[in-house]
Amino acid sequence: MGTRVALALCVVASCTLIGKSLAGKARRRVTALKQIADGLRNLRVNVVTMFIPMRDSLLRTDCPLLNMIGERMGEGMSAGEAWMACKPAARRNGGICDALTAADFRILDGVFVKLGQSERETQDNLLSESLHELERSVDAARAKADEADRLYVTLGLLVGLMLALIVI
Amino acid sequence: MDVIDRLKSLLPPHTAAALEKRRAAVREVRLRAGMPAQLVAFDGDALCSEIISAEKLRNILAALMDFSLYSRENELAQGFFTLSDGSRAGVCGRVSGAGSDGARLTDIGSICVRIARPRQGSADALMSTIDPGDGVRSTLIISPPGMGKTTLLRDVARQLSVRGRNVVVADERHELAACRQGVPTIDVGPRTDVMDGCAKRVAIRLLVRGMAPDVIVTDEIGDAGDAETLADAARCGVAVVASAHARSFDDLIHRPELSSILDKGVFEYVALLAGAPGRISEIRRLGAEGGRTPVWERA
């Protein structure tokens, strides 16, 4: 009997952890969006206040995605072209942006394609609006992540309990 | 990558090949929307066979500006921007508004890239006049455009620096030292400090106050206010080596902005470049008192 109870407890714990890991993607989306928003905030200072050329501005941020775009610009591409070149790798499973949604990519497309193409005032507006949109996405993603956390953990727990009952 | 390699990677293939063929001689590449590229050398020019479309020209312009139009905004308002190797790209297009800081250029239809060719030793013939050993003599270098004033000034800065002088460069147009993130990309000497992208009169004031220089080197003087600033620097005991546009000594004294600088007694010598790029055709010494009609003496 003791062995069965121990096994049942293990099953409950495992199912709960599986639930938590399923909720992880939503949490990773929040982290990725926050990182990009922080990067764009740095980028805005570099561009609008310090007039640093785009490639150096991107490389000076702490955001891996922006750094990646900056690296590609070194091959003679515009920021938009560099983003399009980086996108498949970033989007791939395990890539920097694998947790982002189509709506998130639409925001990123909107900002990266126009980066560096206009005067300071227009760049300022572009970056401000994109940041605003990203911040809204971060809030929504955070709420979704909390919801997913609760849902998957509860589901995991319930499935675990059911399995435990069967085992016992 | 120098400007010629950069242009080659952006131009259509036959034009790029023509540019490579004339690499050593070409001094300007002129691009116009809907027209073939014009390669200008010291011995004449050539039109290439391919037409540069308006879209191609826009792409070339964006690439030359490192896809960072905002960072060139102030320069563009003056009608040009400087590339990372010190070459200058002049632009021409529709002016959609003119503010106090210059014109706002949109729909750019022409680009003229003037290729910088730093040449060490180009100032050799001038150095015994500028720095005879007992102190630096303030010297004004004059010539028509395209005769190598900037190249000469760069080498003067480098050589004075190598000789142990503390040199400061007021590089308003980023052409003398072509600084990138505050670091010169062209050799202007080991004892040279560069203030770039800043109006000459502001830069010179800051440099004299902050860097205790022996010599100030600056390009293309002649704006209102230059005379007073340079005179202030001279009063502080700092020698000035500068350049200005003038076709001849007569032209120099008949241009009010330049003659007012001479009146202040800032310069001891004037060197004229003429005949061929970089060729010093004559050096004259100004009369001891300066004065409206300078006393020219062959140095």
Judgement on whether residues B173 and B219 belong to the same structural domain of the protein: yes
**pLDDT (tens digit, 0 to 9) for every residue of chain B, 299 residues total?**
788 999 999 999 999 999 999 998 898 999 999 999 999 998 889 999 999 999 999 999 999 999 999 988 888 888 888 888 888 899 998 887 665 556 677 788 999 999 988 788 889 999 999 999 889 999 999 999 888 899 999 999 999 999 999 999 999 888 899 887 788 988 999 999 999 888 898 999 999 999 999 999 999 998 878 888 998 899 999 999 999 999 998 898 888 888 888 888 889 999 999 888 888 999 999 876 555 566 676 66
Chain-centroid distance, C-alpha B20: 25
pLDDT at A69 over 90: yes
Instruction: Choose the mutation target among B11, B65, B70 for the interface with A, i.e. most A CBs under 10 Å.
Output: B70
Domain with B51, as residue range(s), is 3-114
Q: Are residues B184 and B220 in the same domain?
A: yes
Chain A: residue whose CA lies nearest to B105: A119
Q: Where are the alpha helices (DSSP H) in chain B?
A: 3-10, 13-21, 54-64, 73-77, 124-130, 149-162, 200-211, 226-235, 249-253, 256-263
Cα–Cα distance, B121 to A4 (Å, whole number): 91
The answer to whether the Cβ–Cβ distance between B67 and A73 falls below 8 Å is yes
Q: CB distance from A58 to chain B under 8 Å?
A: no
Segment A62-73 shows an average pLDDT of 95
Q: Is residue B49 part of a domain?
A: yes
In a domain, B67, yes or no: yes
Look up the CATH number of the domain holding residue B277: 3.40.50.300
Q: Are residues B108 and B146 in the same domain?
A: no
The reported pLDDT for the residue numbered B272 is 93
More confident residue, A41 or A147: A41
Q: Angle of helix A2-44 relative to helix A64-73, nearest 10 degrees?
A: 50
- Fill in the amino acid letter for B173: R
Establish if B247 belongs to a structural domain.
Answer: yes
What pLDDT does B293 receive? 62
Residue B36 lies in a domain: yes
Q: Over range A32-38, report the average pLDDT.
A: 94
Domain's final residue, options B85, B114, B143: B114
B169 and B53 together in one domain: no
Return the residue of A nearest to B70 by Cα. Answer: A119
Contact yes or no for A51 and B66 at CB 8 A: no
**Nearest by Cα to B25 from B39, B41, B40, B12:** B41
Question: In sequence order, which residues have a C-beta less than 8 Å from that of residue B57 and are 6 or more positions away?
Answer: B31, B32, B33, B108, B109, B110, B111
So what's the pLDDT on residue B101?
56
3-state secondary structure of B25: coil
pLDDT score recorded for residue B275 = 84
Rounded CA-CA distance B276/A140 in Å is 69
pLDDT score of B102: 61
> Domain tally for chain B?
2
Q: What is the mean pLDDT of chain A?
A: 89
Please report the DSSP string for A113-130 in residue order: HHTTSS-HHHHHHHHHHH
Residue B134 or A12, more confident:
B134
Q: Does B221 share its domain with B249?
A: yes
Q: What is the CATH number of the domain that holds B78?
A: 3.30.450.90
Any CB–CB contact under 8 A between A49 and chain B? no
pLDDT at residue number B288: 61
Look at residue B256 and tell me if it is in a domain. yes
Among residues B114, B139, B155, which one ends one of the domains? B114
For chain A, how are helix, strand and coil distributed in percent, rounded to 5? 80, 0, 20
Helix axes B3-10, B54-64, angle to 10 degrees: 150
Given this model, what pLDDT does residue A1 score? 72
Contacts of B67 in chain A (CB under 8 A): 53-55, 73, 77-79, 115-117
- Residues with Cβ within 8 Å of residue B166, at least 6 apart in sequence: B191, B193, B211, B212, B213, B214, B215
Same-domain status, B144 and B202: yes
* Cα separation, B123 vs B215, whole angstroms: 16
Residues B100 and B154 in one domain: no
- Per-residue pLDDT tens digits for A75-102: 989 999 999 999 999 998 888 888 899 9
Q: How many Cα atoms within 13 Å fall on the side-chain side of residue A14?
A: 9
**Do residues B165 and B79 both lie within one domain?**
no
Domain ranges of chain A: 2-167
* B163 touches B211 (CB < 8 A): no
Please, which pLDDT band fits residue A136 given cuts at 50, 70 and 90? very high
| CA dist list (Å): B118 to A31, A36, A78, B123, B178 | 49, 42, 29, 11, 11
The predicted pLDDT at position B289 comes to 56
Q: Would you say residue B262 lies in a domain?
A: yes
What is the mean predicted confidence (pLDDT) over A142-162? 82
Q: Do residues B229 and B194 share a domain?
A: yes
The interface residues of chain A toward chain B in range 92-121, judged by CB-CB distance below 8 A, are: 115-120
Same domain, B175 and B278: yes
Residue B31: inside a domain, yes or no? yes
Contact of B116 with B2, CB cutoff 8 Å: no
**A117·B69 Cβ contact <8 A:** yes
**Closest residue in A to B71 (Cα–Cα):** A51
Q: How much is the pLDDT for B98?
A: 60
Q: Which of residues B114, B132, B166 is at a domain's end?
A: B114
Contact state of A53 with B62 under an 8 Å Cβ cutoff: no
